[in-house]
Amino acid sequence: MKDKDKEKNNSKYKIIYTIIIIVIIILIGILGYILINNNKNSTDTTIAYTDLIKKIDNNEVKKIEMTVGSTTLKVNLNDDDKDYKTIIPSTQAFIELIQQKVQDGKQIDLIQNDQNVVLVIMDRIFTFMPTAILIILIILIVKMQGLGDKGKVYDAATSNTKTTFDDVAGLDEEKTELYEIVHFLKNPEKYIKMGAKIPRGVLLCGKPGTGKTLIARAIAGEANVPFISMSGSEFIEMFAGLGASRVRKLFEKAKKMAPCIIFIDEIDAIGSRRTNAMGAETENNQTLNQLLVEMDGFEVNETIIILAATNRPEMLDQALLRPGRFDRQITISTPDIKGREEILKIHARGKNISSEVDLRDIAGDTAGFTGAELSNILNEAAITATRNGHVEILHSDIEEAVKKVTVGLEKTSRIISEKDKKLTAYHEAGHAIVSKFLPTQEDVKEVSIIPRGHAGGYTMYKTVEDKYYISKTEMEERLITLLGGRAAEKIALNDISTGAGSDIQVATQIAKDMIEVYGMSETVGPLFLKNENTYESPILGENIENVVGQEVKKLIDNAYNKAQSILKENMNLLDKIANELLMKEKISGEEFEQFFKN
């Protein structure tokens, strides 16, 4: 879809390109003329470089003009109209010096056109032809991008390639939640009459390729409103003010088209980017501020919804997440086996697929894949089938494509081998079962072997109300639960893995706190020992470090033994639940409970 927009814009770009080439040729002509007629027009007075720095510090300088690549500056002081000349070490060094001063809090604007204080400008460009031409080219290219009006409009109302929720597989809960927005876009008056406050911005969080753009388009398609999209990185420009003016234009356009949807991809490019490039940081802040201003400036009756996508919500400027802005977050995770099968089905639609193909089987082999990767696999399969001379895409073609993509993915360690899957299934089943037998532990909400972040799988617990105090028994049982993963690996597969690393870290920390902070050890007693410089207590003397260590070990050993004995008594359940996980990848709390009813 994204490519289609690009194609549309391409022809427009070609025309602009031609115009620009002509303009460049004319400009070169004029420049040449000026160059010939513009010999040495001023006899400037010189200031020493160190004096100039002093004058900058004393705020005596009005303006500095600089030719990129040259080692002379033209300086205007506050109190006279004369031009001074200064020799600098290099343009780069000078810009760095100025940037340092800006960082130190000096009021200096680094800009390209005439305004107040310091400006780094391509003045007297004519003295240095090749640089001049280069700079003009760069400016024109940047300006041209501005001309090329980057907000891409995809008018769902008129387009015949409308995207709807039917094109989005899986993501049922997300669709339900977002349907609210569709309904609002279709019937804004109802909501306004009721006095309802409609979400202005929705943040879609998730890895690339999970379908964030797709679902945003589908909302526009369902509501039959125009879809205006732009990527955060397109707002970031070297030349001041362009990013902010782009945001302004984008919203102006949206207001004319309302009701409509604005989609900002990679919003973190605006919300968090930090570079040392000249002026880029202030530029970025300007862009962000403009976005905030636009979002706050909506009238209640303006039916514009802004959707933004990011893979790193934690990197975003907090200001973006305040009420009235992107105050709703929807996380789009990688699909489970059912979701993958549905995605494969959708992308199989236009393809010549043999009836012998079992997409469920393919879904089973592609744990951890995103929608984009799955769609890519079917495309690869079509290519493979053609190359192999088949009349239809066969199951073996798809398997070959999976392998091809998998090898490419192994590097990023996203694909999970059968062995790892089995290990994860037993590990997570271990946590879940052990906790079930411990009265203080919370009920299981979900067990999954779909990788998430650094973890190969996870067991989620239902959270109850906040507690003020945690009892010793509860902490001990928490240790047992944490070690349930390792215990299951040991018992079922007679081998242990690095998968338990973080469990062990957490468990050890809890055990240490029990002894050093909460005084829960009989031997050590109620002493606070954490973060003490000297490990010495009146009762235990210098020996205390040893004693604490022994007590920690005792707690952990006991917990590990207890976890093993629970699992050994329930081997049957462990096998059953691990197998269920291998089959389904994810089981709900209710499904988990079913195993304990008979």
**Residues binding Zn ion (CB under 5 A):** 485, 503
Q: Is 261 in the site for ligand ADP (CB under 6 A)?
A: no
> Could you tell me how many residues of this chain bind ligand ADP (CB under 6 A)?
19
CB atoms within 10 A of CB 7: 8
The residue number with the shortest CB distance to ligand ADP is 371
The closest of 272, 286, 273, 281 to 242, measured between CA atoms, is 286
Q: Please measure the distance between the N-terminal and C-terminal CA atoms of the chain and give it in whole angstroms.
A: 51
> Which is closer to ligand ADP, CB of 376 or CB of 448?
376
Query: Which residue is it, tokens 């009420």?
Result: 323
Rounded Cα gap, residues 236 and 556, in angstroms:
52
DSSP reduced 3-state for 347: helix
Site for ligand ADP in 77-136 (CB under 6 A): none
The closest of 429, 395, 24, 1 to 218, measured between CA atoms, is 1
Binding mask 311-350 for ligand ADP (x = CB under 6 A): --------------------------------x--x----
Binds 226, which of ligand ADP, Zn ion, none (CB < 5 to 8 A, cut-off by type)?
A: none
Binds 503, which of ligand ADP, Zn ion, none (CB < 5 to 8 A, cut-off by type)?
A: Zn ion
Q: Which helix (H) or strand (E) holds 587?
A: strand 586-588
Establish how many alpha carbons lie within 13 A of residue 242's alpha carbon, considering only the half-sphere containing its beta carbon: 23
DSSP state of 209: T
- 58 phi and psi angles, rounded to 5 deg: -90, 10
> Which is closer to Zn ion, CB of 55 or CB of 427?
427
CB atoms within 10 A of CB 524: 20
Binds 430, which of Zn ion, ligand ADP, none (CB < 5 to 8 A, cut-off by type)?
A: none
Binds 1, which of Zn ion, ligand ADP, none (CB < 5 to 8 A, cut-off by type)?
A: ligand ADP
Binds 484, which of ligand ADP, Zn ion, none (CB < 5 to 8 A, cut-off by type)?
A: none
Site for ligand ADP in 376-435 (CB under 6 A): none
Q: Is 309 in the site for ligand ADP (CB under 6 A)?
A: yes
Q: Is 214 in the site for ligand ADP (CB under 6 A)?
A: yes
The closest of 582, 572, 557, 589 to 479, measured between CA atoms, is 557
Q: Which of 88, 119, 152, 170 binds ligand ADP (CB under 6 A)?
A: 170
Structure tokens at 90: 């290099």
Site for ligand ADP in 538-557 (CB under 6 A): none
CB atoms within 10 A of CB 549: 12
- 260 phi and psi angles, rounded to 5 deg: -160, 175
CA 394 to chain centre: 36
Minimum gap (Å) between residue 427 Cβ and Zn ion: 5
> Which is closer to ligand ADP, CB of 212 or CB of 422?
212
Handedness of CA 380, 382, 388, 394 (dihedral sign): positive
Minimum gap (Å) between residue 234 Cβ and ligand ADP: 15
Site for ligand ADP in 511-540 (CB under 6 A): none
Structure tokens at 319: 């200001």
> Which is closer to Zn ion, CB of 4 or CB of 419?
419
Binding mask 357-376 for ligand ADP (x = CB under 6 A): --------------xx--x-
Rounded Cα gap, residues 452 and 457, in angstroms:
7
Of 36-44, 65-73, 169-177, 276-284, which part binds ligand ADP (CB under 6 A)? 169-177
Catalytic position from the list 400, 428, 477, 489: 428
DSSP state of 211: S
Query: Is 356 labeled as catalytic in the residue annotation?
Result: no
Binds 507, which of ligand ADP, Zn ion, none (CB < 5 to 8 A, cut-off by type)?
A: none
Quick check: 228 and 306 in contact, CB under 8 A? no
Minimum gap (Å) between residue 501 Cβ and Zn ion: 9
Minimum gap (Å) between residue 266 Cβ and ligand ADP: 9
Binds 491, which of ligand ADP, Zn ion, none (CB < 5 to 8 A, cut-off by type)?
A: none
Of 120-128, 165-173, 232-240, 400-408, which part binds ligand ADP (CB under 6 A)? 165-173
Q: Residues 6 or more apart from 209 whose CB is under 8 A from it?
A: 370, 371, 372, 373
The closest of 187, 190, 225, 184 to 202, measured between CA atoms, is 184
Binds 343, which of Zn ion, ligand ADP, none (CB < 5 to 8 A, cut-off by type)?
A: ligand ADP
The closest of 202, 265, 211, 263 to 233, measured between CA atoms, is 265
Minimum gap (Å) between residue 385 Cβ and Zn ion: 41
Binding mask 194-213 for ligand ADP (x = CB under 6 A): ------------x-xxxxxx
Minimum gap (Å) between residue 212 Cβ and ligand ADP: 3
**CB-neighbour burial class of residue 432 (10 A; exposed 0-12, middle 13-18, buried 19+):** buried
Minimum gap (Å) between residue 310 Cβ and ligand ADP: 10
Binding site for ligand ADP (CB under 6 A): 1, 168-171, 206, 208-214, 309, 343, 346, 371-372, 375
Please give the positions annotated as active site.
Answer: 428
